[in-house]
Structure 1
Amino acid sequence: MESCKPLAIFFEAISRDARICSTHIGLFAAILNYWQVNGFPVPMRAYAHEIMPLAKIAASTTYHRCIRDLHDFGYIFYEPSYKRNQPSSIYLKTEMSDDE
């Protein structure tokens, strides 16, 4: 059940984080599902248009705001490509420190 570790860590951490809303949770769940379906790659490489439908996010501005929030809050490491023909990189955290 090692594949569930990032989800357990995420839910433990967000229980103390008032900044996280349901859209962040849905996006994180979609990222985790995409990661599992694609064989647990490190880093996970994905386009926004692949993740957005899984997270039930229709607006790209919402997706980019939430994925940047997850990065800024320390739940993922997000490396945008800024190129239409190159996917962005997403790293899932396998541990959370006490200050996050």
Structure 2
Amino acid sequence: MTPSLLLTAFIKKAQTDKTLKTSHISLYIAIIKCWEENNQINPVSISRSELMKMSKINAKATYHKCIKELHNLSYILYQPSYHPLKKSQITIIHIPKTPHPLRPNISQHPP
């Protein structure tokens, strides 16, 4: 799945997910940017400080809350590194595309 399709699917799902706030959305976008720079290969090594800067999150507590919630809500798989010299790992979970409500899904109909 391309980054643009992944972001489109995420935004559609985020519209109905009442638990997501703007900080979750900006953090997810920053994660996708890192994933894209990693040639869309999972897992991607991430730096907390880089993600905080990219997503405009200033507080470490907010960052940790958002990344754990994105993990718990199955948007990402987050594997924290507790070693100061090793980066944490994030795996992007592909969000299934939901069919458009007004367009029939042709693959579901017999030929």
TM-score of the aligned structures, taking structure 1 as reference length: 0.87
Whichever residue aligns with residue 37 of structure 2, its letter is V
Q: Which has the larger radius of gyration?
A: 2
CA contact under 8 A between 2:9 and 2:97: conserved in structure 1? no
> Contact 1:5–1:94 at 8 Å: present in 2 too?
no
* Partner residue, 1:68: 68
Aligned to 2:8: 8
**Equivalent pair of 1:71/1:78 in contact (CA under 8 Å):** yes
TM-score with structure 2 setting the length: 0.79
Equivalent residues in 2 for 1:1-100, closer than 5 Å: 2-96=2-96
Unaligned 5+ segments in structure 2 are: 99-111
Aligned-residue RMSD, C-alpha: 1.9
Question: Counterpart amino acid of 2:45?
Answer: R
Q: Give the number of equivalent residue pairs.
A: 98
Match of 1:19, SS state, is: coil
Higher relative contact order (CA 8 A, sep 6+): 1
* Equivalent AA in structure 1 for residue 54 of structure 2: L
